[in-house]
Amino acid sequence: MNRTWISIIVIFTFLVSQAQESQFPVIEQANQAYNAGVYQEAIDLYNDVLKEDYSSAALYYNLGNAYFKIKDIPSAILNYEKALKLNPNDQQIQFNLNIANSQIVDKIEAVPDMFYVRWWKDFSKTFSPDDWARITIGLYLMIILLAAVFIISRSPGLRRISFWVSLTIGIMLIISTAIAYQKYNQQISDKYAIIFSPTITVKSSPSKSSVDLFVIHEGTKVEITDKVEGWYEIRIANGSIGWIPQNILKKI
């Protein structure tokens, strides 16, 4: 039975790797089309790869660049944001996203974070999500090793050292686990979106007849805070909240 399951896992892993590798020629074709200046062809090929459930920060970044070349700024921003979601420490992605954001109408001043929130965000960006996961696993293994030393050792000095070191590492483990969990939730979250309507009036309630609050334009990033039939409640960077039709945005 165990051998059967091992065989199934090996075969499944091989098929997955083959499926992923089969996309690489298409990506190469898309890159060649982009380099040749045939941007719409590159976009079509990149999107063909995405339809096969294969994605990466580099793929979204290249797709964002192709959309930017044809002046489709909302789509460029959407794909840069998706790339940054997978690789939040990439400065080139952030740079191109900033350039794309400079091309949109809305220049919304974000509400500044409290100093401790800003510190936590900056600290969590020290490593990539995958690195934080590896750090967490490494610290967990160190805790197990130190616990074994504490239990097995007959030396009071060694037991004392292992206790205090494990306590310190335990604190680090709590912090790294919290960051790794936060990064994971950010990657799977779909609460942020990009507006894909040239102009949209944000309403006070999910109804076309409700009071007009403010106007936003295509390319603006919003946070989805609630949902009812056909409508999303959204928050923009300055903290303003209102309702917009569901079909005029695309989730990051």
pLDDT given at position 146 = 92
Q: Which of 147, 166, 188 lies at the terminal end of a domain, its last residue?
A: 188
- Residue 87 sits in the same domain as residue 55: yes
Give the CATH number, domain containing residue 65: 1.25.40.10
Residue 218 counted as domain residue: yes
pLDDT given at position 217 = 96
What range defines the domain where residue 149 resides?
115-188
**Alpha-carbon span 201 to 220, nearest angstrom:** 13
* Bridge partners of residue 216, in order along the sequence: 200
Are the C-beta atoms of residues 35 and 67 closer than 8 Å to each other? Answer: no
pLDDT given at position 59 = 94
Collect the ranges in the chain with pLDDT lower than 50.
1-22
Say how many domains are in the chain. Answer: 3
- Residue 136 sits in the same domain as residue 153: yes
Residue 144 counted as domain residue: yes
The first and second tokens of residue 223, run together, are: 């946070």
pLDDT given at position 182 = 86
pLDDT given at position 88 = 84
pLDDT given at position 153 = 87
- Residue 180 sits in the same domain as residue 234: no
- Residue 97 sits in the same domain as residue 131: no
For residue 38, how many other CB atoms are within 10 A of its CB? 15
**Alpha-carbon span 166 to 146, nearest angstrom:** 6
pLDDT given at position 195 = 97
pLDDT given at position 12 = 42
